[in-house]
Amino acid sequence: MKIVDRFTLWFLGVTLLIIPINSYITYNSIKKEIDKAAVERLKHVNARAAEQLARGEAVGEFMQGCRIKATPSDSTMPADFFLITDRDVKHDPDLEDYDRKITVASWHQISGVSYKIISGDYVTRSEQILAGLRVSIFWKLIILIGLVVLTARLASRLVLAPFYNTLKKLQHFNLRSRKKLEFKPTRTKEFNELNCFVGKMTDKAVDDYISLKEFSENASHELQTPLAIIRSKLELMSEYNIEGEEAVLISDMQNAVDKLTRINKSLVLLARLENNEYESQETLNFSRFVRESVNTFCDLVTLKGLTMEYRIEENVDVKLHAALVDILLNNLVGNAIRHNYPGGHISVELTAGKLVISNTGHEPQEPVEEMFRRFRKGAGCQNSVGIGLSIVKQICDMNGFTINYRFQAGHHIITVDFPPASVSSKLLQNDARSLHEKTQL
Amino acid sequence: MKVLLIEDNVELASSISAFLAREGYICEISYNIRDAQDKLISFQYDCVLLDIMLPDGNGLEILRFMRQEKLQSSILILSAKNSLDDKIIGLEEGADDYLTKPFHMPELNARLRAIYRRKTLNGSNIIAFNEITLNIDTFEAWVNGTQLDMTRKEFDLLMYFMVNRNRVLSRQSIAAHLWGDYTDNLSNFDFVYQHVKNIRKKISAASGTDYIGTVYGLGYKFHTSRQ
């Protein structure tokens, strides 16, 4: 729910609560005022009647539109005493309309005779007042809700503009672009605080990201030379007449250096992929590369006693950096050979827009989602670094390919879907765009 | 063959020059660009091994300098920076090959030989030792006049052995040579063993001498002294 809707609802709730209370107060005060006016008028009428009587004139049945009656009375009351009664009467049975009648009685001493003067009048009944109020409340509500609904969006667009601006900037914010966020100052205190806060946080994130990147890049590069030294010295060492246990020691060291080298190279490659250093502008003939890769691995397939079949459609063009094609294919086909058993089978199928590699193998013991994470390896692959598939995944992500794995009927099946060549390869940007559209006002 | 090694790391430079010396190369070392330029002008080298990151500048400057001075030496770039740009620029600026650190010494040797063959020996495409002859253009191997039925990888491996005679070739080095840098999933050295076994079988079948032997724990070696 949007902020503006929440505020509108809150406002309407308060309005709905206030209106009955308000009408009750209005109703009461109107009724009171009407009664008061009627009583005042009747008092005045009584006084006039008393004057008339004092002048010796008789008092008629009506005076000033009010029914009046003056009778001599036995009792005497003080001059300023009035008896006020009100009752609902059925004035006219034919009209079947009820009315409210107010009567005022007063006592006067006129020429030594005590008179009781009673006057009465019909006043507006409470139901009638309520009916009037209802109509006015109804119109009031309609106008209020209409105006609130109509203007709330406009107002929120004006008032919340800096907020939405910040939101939009945050959605477009990408650590990899390493650009800091800049906000326009606003007159709203909270938004200024928010911007200040968000600005500080993103600046920190960017700084951290840059230093982390620099660290991992430097570390990787600086490691290369010492690794080269160790490797070269070990190789020189093995040229001497080394025998027995010493040879095994050297061999173990060589293995470790080799593994370290591979980890390092893979991490550097991943970092480069994340830096978008391998962005491709051109399409290349993927069919040719797949065929080459399949041929490269022919020997290994035979050595491991596997059979391989492939169906490669001609001239499948894919937008991918040439340096990454081999890495992608070698990792996928290599895995298909490695996670296989003697006498197993591999099939490679390339059609326009899709590469499917499936191979026989044992059921994976780890959750499938874990497969593409770094340094995850299946059972029985102690020699592997466990980074191949995460490189493959990264390559796919960066180029807008979707990669899927499933295990089905004793086969590991990896599917890579290529987007149509016309579609931009920037997945990230697409995401940002759709997010942005969702938050438009 | 006379080689100029331009490498700022003393340890690595000494390893490389020791290895090259054993191969019978004459190897001189420069630790920075200025010294390298002096040496390049004063002496003639068959090949230059060039590190990209040097204390007084980028190794690519040497490439430009050599082009300006019209120096004919072959150039092999050794870089710690596994960057594609460096590779492309390097090759465009006239380098003959590119090797990323850390590399295997036999690999360096094989690359050097290949460059040397291409440039100095006017593209001779034959590598021969006693009864074994390799044609590196047609990927044909002959033993005693019989052509061996070899796969491409087996041929590459035999050539690697022939170029690095009497050298211990570790399984890691062979795997890297055959399947490249990103062979994470091929580190299973059974494949290397199988390939070596096949080559030996094929050479023996053509009544060739079994020059290739196992070095316990370390790898394999092409023994030129075997009869």
Q: What is the mean pLDDT of each run of 10 residues along chain A (441 residues)?
A: 85 88 88 88 86 82 80 76 76 64 84 83 79 86 87 85 87 79 85 90 89 79 87 89 86 87 82 77 86 84 87 88 84 85 91 90 79 67 70 88 89 88 43 41 39
> Which residues on chain A are in Cβ contact (under 8 Å) with B217?
242, 244, 247-248, 250-251
| Distance set, CA A110 to CA A51, A54, A113, A183, A352 (Å) | 9, 6, 5, 90, 119
pTM of the model: 0.65
Q: Which of B119, B147, B172 is the last residue of a domain?
A: B119
Same domain, B111 and B132: no
Hey, are the CB atoms on A385 and B84 less than 8 Å from each other?
A: no
Closest residue of chain B to A266, computed from CA coordinates: B182
Hey, are the CB atoms on A338 and B22 less than 8 Å from each other?
A: no
Same domain, B41 and B113: yes
B26 to chain A, closest Cα gap in Å: 17
Q: Residue B130: inside a domain, yes or no?
A: yes
- Count of positions (residues) in chain A: 441
What would you report as the CA-atom Rg of chain B, rounded to the nearest whole angstrom?
A: 19
Q: In terms of DSSP bridges, do strands B2-6 and B47-51 run parallel, antiparallel, or are they unpaired? A: parallel
Cβ(B83)–Cβ(B59) below 8 Å: no
Cβ(A382)–Cβ(A345) below 8 Å: no
State the total domains in chain B: 2
Closest residue of chain A to B13, computed from CA coordinates: A229
Hey, are the CB atoms on A225 and B181 less than 8 Å from each other?
A: no
| Cα pseudo-dihedral B153, B158, B161, B163, rounded to 10 | -100
Same domain, B137 and B115: no
Please state, in angstroms and rounded to a whole number, the distance separating the CA atoms of residues A64 and A297: 119
Same domain, B31 and B112: yes
Cβ(A166)–Cβ(A196) below 8 Å: no
Same domain, B52 and B140: no
Same domain, B114 and B136: no
Omega of the bond prior to B102 within 30 degrees of 0, cis?
yes
pLDDT at A97: 63
Cβ(A316)–Cβ(A286) below 8 Å: yes
| Lowest-confidence pick of A87-91, A433-437, B135-139, B217-221 | A433-437
**Long-range pairs for A168-177: beta carbons < 8 A, 24 or more residues apart:** A168/A436, A168/A439, A170/A198, A170/A202, A171/A432, A171/A435, A171/A436, A171/A439, A172/A432, A172/A436, A173/A202, A174/A428, A174/A432, A175/A205, A175/A206, A175/A209, A176/A209, A176/A274, A176/A275, A176/A276
Same domain, B102 and B155: no
| Cα pseudo-dihedral A366, A370, A373, A379, rounded to 10 | 0
In single-letter form, the type of residue at position B119 comes to K
Q: Is the pLDDT of residue B45 over 80?
A: yes
> Which residues on chain A are in Cβ contact (under 8 Å) with B12?
225, 228-229, 232
Instruction: Tell me the average pLDDT across B184-193.
Output: 67
Instruction: Tell me the average pLDDT across B137-165.
Output: 90
Q: Is the pLDDT of residue B212 over 90?
A: yes
Same domain, B90 and B135: no
Q: Residue B24: inside a domain, yes or no?
A: yes
pLDDT at A349: 93
Same domain, B73 and B139: no
Same domain, B9 and B87: yes
Please state, in angstroms and rounded to a whole number, the distance separating the CA atoms of residues A164 and A156: 10
DSSP state at residue B9: -
Q: Residue B53: inside a domain, yes or no?
A: yes
Instruction: Tell me the average pLDDT across B155-177.
Output: 89
Q: Please, which residues 59-78 of chain B have a Cβ atom closer than 8 Å to chain A?
A: none
In the block, residue with structure tokens 């620099």: A214
Instruction: List for chain A the helix, strand, coil content (%; round to 5).
Output: 55, 20, 25
Hey, are the CB atoms on B82 and A258 less than 8 Å from each other?
A: no
Q: What is the CATH number of the domain that holds B179?
A: 1.10.10.10
Which of B182, B190, B202, B223 to probe the A interface (max A CBs under 10 A)? B182
Q: Residue B72: inside a domain, yes or no?
A: yes
Widest Cα–Cα separation across chain B: 56
| Range of the structural domain that residue B28 is part of | 2-119
A65 touches chain B (CB under 8 A): no
Of B85, B103, B152, the CB nearest to A228: B103
Which of A217, A224, A265 to probe the B interface (max B CBs under 10 A)? A224
A182 touches chain B (CB under 8 A): no
CB proximity list for A9: less than 8 A, separation 6 or greater = none
Which of A299, A340, A341 to probe the B interface (max B CBs under 10 A)? A299
B119 touches chain A (CB under 8 A): no
B84 to chain A, closest Cα gap in Å: 8
B14 touches chain A (CB under 8 A): no
Question: A131-153 burial, b for 16+ CB within 10 Å, e for fewer?
Answer: eebeeebeeeeeeeeeebeeebe
Both tokens assigned to A239:
């040229």
> Which residues on chain B are in Cβ contact (under 8 Å) with A233?
11, 15
Instruction: Tell me the average pLDDT across B120-140.
Output: 83
Please state, in angstroms and rounded to a whole number, the distance separating the CA atoms of residues A396 and A418: 9
Q: How many CB atoms lie within 10 A of CB A358?
A: 20
A233 touches chain B (CB under 8 A): yes
Same domain, B97 and B138: no
Torsion angles phi and psi, residue A109, rounded to 5? -100, 110
pLDDT at A441: 39
DSSP state at residue A433: H
Q: Residue B227: inside a domain, yes or no?
A: no
Please state, in angstroms and rounded to a whole number, the distance separating the CA atoms of residues A267 and A220: 8
Q: Residue B69: inside a domain, yes or no?
A: yes
**Listed residue (A81, A71, A80) closest to A110, CA to CA:** A71
**Binning pLDDT at 50, 70 and 90, where does residue B33 land?**
very high
A198 to chain B, closest Cα gap in Å: 35
A160 to chain B, closest Cα gap in Å: 47
Q: Please, which residues 75-114 of chain B have a Cβ atom closer than 8 Å to chain A?
A: 80-85, 100-106
Please state, in angstroms and rounded to a whole number, the distance separating the CA atoms of residues B157 and B150: 10
A229 touches chain B (CB under 8 A): yes
B69 to chain A, closest Cα gap in Å: 30
Please state, in angstroms and rounded to a whole number, the distance separating the CA atoms of residues A225 and A324: 24
Instruction: Tell me the average pLDDT across B70-88.
Output: 79
Q: What is the CATH number of the domain that holds B112?
A: 3.40.50.2300
B55 touches chain A (CB under 8 A): no
> Which residues on chain B are in Cβ contact (under 8 Å) with A296?
153, 179
CB proximity list for A107: less than 8 A, separation 6 or greater = A73, A75, A76, A77, A78, A79, A81, A114, A115, A116, A117
- Count of positions (residues) in chain B: 227
Q: Which of B85, B119, B153 is the last residue of a domain?
A: B119
**A363 exposed, middle or buried (CB, 10 Å; 0-12, 13-18, 19+)?**
exposed
Q: Residue B63: inside a domain, yes or no?
A: yes
Helix axes A427-438, A161-172, angle to 10 degrees: 160
Of A229, A304, A327, the CB nearest to B11: A229
B184 touches chain A (CB under 8 A): yes
Q: Which of B119, B143, B166 is the last residue of a domain?
A: B119
Instruction: Tell me the average pLDDT across B44-64.
Output: 89
pLDDT at A434: 41
Q: Residue B56: inside a domain, yes or no?
A: yes
Hey, are the CB atoms on A388 and B190 less than 8 Å from each other?
A: no
Q: Give the three-class secondary structure for B215.
A: strand
Please state, in angstroms and rounded to a whole number, the distance separating the CA atoms of residues A223 and A228: 9
> Which residues on chain B are in Cβ contact (under 8 Å) with A229?
9, 11-12, 15, 102
Cβ(B101)–Cβ(B79) below 8 Å: yes
Hey, are the CB atoms on A262 and B187 less than 8 Å from each other?
A: yes
Same domain, B73 and B154: no
B197 touches chain A (CB under 8 A): no
Predicted ipTM of the assembly: 0.84
Closest residue of chain A to B88, computed from CA coordinates: A323
